[in-house]
Every structure is written in C-alpha cells, then in structure tokens.
A and B are shown apart, each in its own frame.
Chain A
Amino acid sequence: MIFREIRPCRTKGALEVLPEDPVDLRMDTVERVLQDARFKVVNAAILVVAKRDDITETTLYEDGRMLVKSLDPREVHRSAARVFEAATGYREDAPYDRYVDAGRVRVPSARP
C-alpha cells in the first residue's frame, strides 16, 4: 500500500490521498512525465492539476498529497494510483478493499 490515508478534504467537497512515504516532487519534471503519459497538465509550480479521460481530475502537490475531485473513495483510490504512478514511478498493487480493511479510508461511505 503506497498511500497512508484516504480522507475528506477540509471543506469536504473532495477526498484527499496522503502518500505512505514522504516525497519531494519537482513540478516541472512531474509535468513532463505526466504529459508523456497522456495527461493534460496545468503546472502551477506548487501543484499540478492532472486530467485524463480515464480518471477524475486530480491535484498533486509537491509533497505527494493529492486531492481528487470526487467523493467516491474507490474512484479516488483508482485515480490517485494512476496519477501517482505516472508522476513518481511508485506502483499501487493493493486493491481498494485492502485500504478499507486496514482502516485507511476515513470516509463514511468507504464500503457501500
């Protein structure tokens, strides 16, 4: 499991995904590798916003934290995994249900 926690963001309008291990991303590099992986990217220096047809729009910060614009934790896990792997090379092998079992999904609808 490469993520520590999936939880509501401060205003509860989206879900946040925190990486298990700290990372320190260079956003110019992240922009380039995400574009190579066919993401549309907005690079705002302290964060990038990544979009692709098969994911929900995801904001990735320098420390690896992600904000996925969905309230469905399963979808958030899926989108975050794709963006994080493309940006950092860390592959997510754990299915969503393992996160639920491990108590790492702090969302009321974790297991509908």
Chain B
Amino acid sequence: MPPSKAAILISGGIDSPVAAYLLARSGFDLMAINLDNRPFTDDNQFEKAPSLVRKLEQVTGKRIPLWVAPHGPNQVQLARNADRHMQCVLCRRMMWSVAAEIAKAEGCDYIATGESLGQVASQTLPNIRAENEEPCLPMLRPLIGWDKREIEAVAKSIGTWEISTGPGVCCTIVPDKPVTNATLFRTDAEAAKVDFAGLRAKAVGEAYVHDLQGNPAV
C-alpha cells in the first residue's frame, strides 16, 4: 500500500514545521502550502516558509513541494465585511478551505496543521470546530495536545527553531479581542457576508509552486 499523502500548512511559525516533521517520520509523503498573508505581514515572514521547507527536506530526506496561495485579499474582504472579532476564525476557515482544494487536486488524502490547543487566543476547541466546516479533506493535527516547550524542543533538535524565530512581522490584522468561543451558526453567518466560495476559487486559481532552489517569487 502506498504511503498516505498530506498537505501541511506552513506559516513560518514554530509549530507547523514540527508537525510536518512528525508526519514525515510517520511515513507520510508531504506537500507544503503557505497562505501568503502580505501585506499583513512582511517579506521576512514570508521567506520563512521556503526556508523551513528546505530545512525539512534536509531533515526528512523527502522532497516537499511548496505551494503558495495569496491570502491578503481574503483578509481584506473578511475585515471589511464581517464582525472584526471573528477575523481569526474566518481567516483560518478560509485557509483550511483553500489548502484543502489545492491538496485534493494534488492527490493528497489529508491536510495537516501545527495547531495546539490554547496556544493563542483563537486556537480553542469551539473555534476549531467552527473553522473546520469547510475543508473537503480530513484534517490532521499532530500537535493538538502538545505543550509549547515540547514543540520548541523538537524544533530546536531539527533545526527549524532558528528560522521560525528570525525577524518577521506577525499578522497585523489580528483584532484586539478575537473570539475564543465561536459557534458554527455565528461563523456561518459571518462567512456568508463575503463571497466565500469566490474568494477561495480565486486564491486557488492564483496559487503557484514556489521554486525552492532559485530565488523565491515575490
């Protein structure tokens, strides 16, 4: 039986490369997907994704193609039309949804994230439930019950820590008080305020394979 294939969402942070490493170690074939959050982050933060994937390829010995899909325009539409406190929930629902479409077209069986419970305000069980409604593939969360220190220890041991903690602007569009107890009803209602399917289709249509060997496309 051939190995399962998963698409890991790589943000540039500490957690997702560790999740990718664990999946590769478990025998998964991987592809990586980065949702390009500029202009709500900067070029330094964006460049972490290809750097992390290159490091993961070294560590795992596997080829890991990196797809990049634009996400900034989605953020704008969500911010302009939906409840601002729901920005993170809707952002994540959109990211999973875009990633799942790309992953499915590339023959993946799963999408995967580096989420662990309670690590940031938006990563709560109710939020994950509300965000999880759209993707057309099952989601894997290898770090869901992990402690941050455990994750950091693995990141340091595989050499991704230095890349993830390098200079970079974290998301600038996070609201002052993000919702931590989203309901499916409320999330659906807010998502309906934008052309969710249209935004997803546009992001998927503009996604591209990042050249990990040459200069990154900007």
| Chain A interfacial positions (CB closer than 8 Å to B) | 9-14, 42-47, 49, 51, 57, 59, 67, 69, 71
> Do B167 and A44 touch across chains, with their CB atoms under 8 A apart?
no
Chain A hits for B175, CB < 8 A? 46
Q: Determine the residue in chain B with the shortest Cβ distance to A67.
A: B172
Chain B hits for A57, CB < 8 A? 39, 42
Chain B hits for A71, CB < 8 A? 167
CA distance A49 to B80 in the complex (A): 14
A-B contact pairs, 10 of them (CB 8 A): A10-B170, A11-B170, A13-B45, A13-B167, A13-B170, A14-B42, A43-B76, A43-B80, A49-B39, A49-B172
A11 and B169 contact, Cβ closer than 8 Å, known pairs A44-B80, A45-B84, A46-B79:
yes
**Interface residues of A: mostly helix, strand, loop or mixed?**
loop
| Chain B interfacial positions (CB closer than 8 Å to A) | 39-40, 42, 44-45, 72, 75-76, 79-80, 84, 167-170, 172-173, 175
Given contact pairs A47-B172, A57-B39, a sample of 13 additional A-B residue pairs in the complex whose CB atoms are under 8 Å apart: A9-B169, A10-B170, A11-B168, A12-B167, A13-B45, A13-B168, A13-B170, A44-B40, A46-B79, A47-B173, A57-B42, A59-B172, A69-B169
Chain B hits for A59, CB < 8 A? 39-40, 172
Chain B hits for A13, CB < 8 A? 42, 44-45, 167-170
Chain A hits for B84, CB < 8 A? 45-46
**Interface residues of B: mostly helix, strand, loop or mixed?**
loop
Chain B hits for A43, CB < 8 A? 76, 80
- In whole Å, how far is A46's beta carbon from the nearest beta carbon of chain B? 6
CA distance A59 to B171 in the complex (A): 11
Chain B hits for A47, CB < 8 A? 172-173
CA distance A46 to B84 in the complex (A): 8
Q: Determine the residue in chain A with the shortest Cβ distance to B172.
A: A59
- In whole Å, how far is A62's beta carbon from the nearest beta carbon of chain B? 10
Q: Determine the residue in chain A with the shortest Cβ distance to B84.
A: A46
In order of increasing CB-CB distance, the 10 nearest A-B pairs are A44-B79, A13-B169, A49-B39, A11-B170, A13-B168, A45-B80, A45-B79, A69-B42, A14-B169, A13-B167
- In whole Å, how far is B178's beta carbon from the nearest beta carbon of chain A? 12
Chain B hits for A49, CB < 8 A? 39-40, 172
